Structure 1
Amino acid sequence: MFRKGFKMYVYPDQQKEYYKRHAELWPEMEEMLRAHGLIKYVIFLDKETSVLYAYLETENEELWSKVARTEVNRKWWSYMAPIMKTNADESPIAVDLKEVFYLEGER
């Protein structure tokens, strides 16, 4: 399993819109993510700083690396670009976070 943490940035006046767009996630986007091995994906918002903290788990890193090249992902980036800090290709500016601790309880 591959775990990844990163942070992104939503514009302060767009926090509600960011939430709304994820609450209405396109079915084809969800299907694509699952097809690329997604197990878990969580995004947290620090309302005071407008920093988004994301955590995801996938089946493998190589499969996940192909997400950015899919047509639906590129459409999602274009859809989200007006409300987030982005790179020139409309991908969100994302800063990887270093994992320093992980503990999983018994199931």
Structure 2
Amino acid sequence: MEEIAFTMQLKPGNVAEYQRRHDEIWPELSEALEKAGIRDYSIYLAPESGTLFAVQKRTPDHTADQLPGLPIMKRWWDYMADLMDTNPDNSPVAKPLQRVFHMD
């Protein structure tokens, strides 16, 4: 499994709504993520800063790079855009993180 980590930024005052929307994640979005080879996906929050820390585990043959072209992904980004920092296409501003330690 490949593991990647990245941060995103939540706008102030949106923690509860962000959590609610993810608690009710659309089944067709979950299906698209799984079909793309994402097998484990967690998002953590640093409440004092609104920083979101995400970790994904992907299969070796994943197609996650194709997710941005899917209509369901674009709909999700549009749905979430009011809650977080986004790029012009409403995708979240995601900053990749470099692993500096791992204990197995």
TM-score tier (shorter): over 0.9
- Once residues 86 and 61 of structure 2 are traced to their aligned partners in structure 1, the CA distance between those partners, rounded to angstroms, is 23
Equivalent residue runs for 1:1-107 within 5 Å = 1-60=1-60, 63-104=63-104
May I ask how many residue pairs the two structures share in their alignment? 104
Structure having the higher helix fraction is 1
Q: Deviations over 1:64-101 (max 9, x none)?
A: 11111111000000000011100101000110000112
Percent identity between the aligned chains?
Answer: 35
> Which TM-score applies when normalising by structure 1?
0.92
Q: 2:91 is aligned with what amino acid?
A: S
> Which TM-score applies when normalising by structure 2?
0.95
Q: Indicate if the aligned counterparts of 1:38 and 1:58 stay in contact, CA closer than 8 A.
A: yes
Q: Deviations over 1:9-50 (max 9, x none)?
A: 111211110000000000000000000001100000000000
Is the alpha carbon distance of 1:81 and 1:22 closer, same or farther for their aligned partners in structure 2, counting shifts above 3 Å? same
The alignment partner of 1:43 has SS state of strand
- Once residues 49 and 102 of structure 2 are traced to their aligned partners in structure 1, the CA distance between those partners, rounded to angstroms, is 25
User: Where in structure 1 do 4 or more consecutive aligned residues deviate above 3 Å?
Assistant: none
Runs (5+) with no aligned partner, structure 1: none
Q: Indicate if the aligned counterparts of 1:2 and 1:61 stay in contact, CA closer than 8 A.
A: no
- Cα RMSD between the aligned structures? 1.1
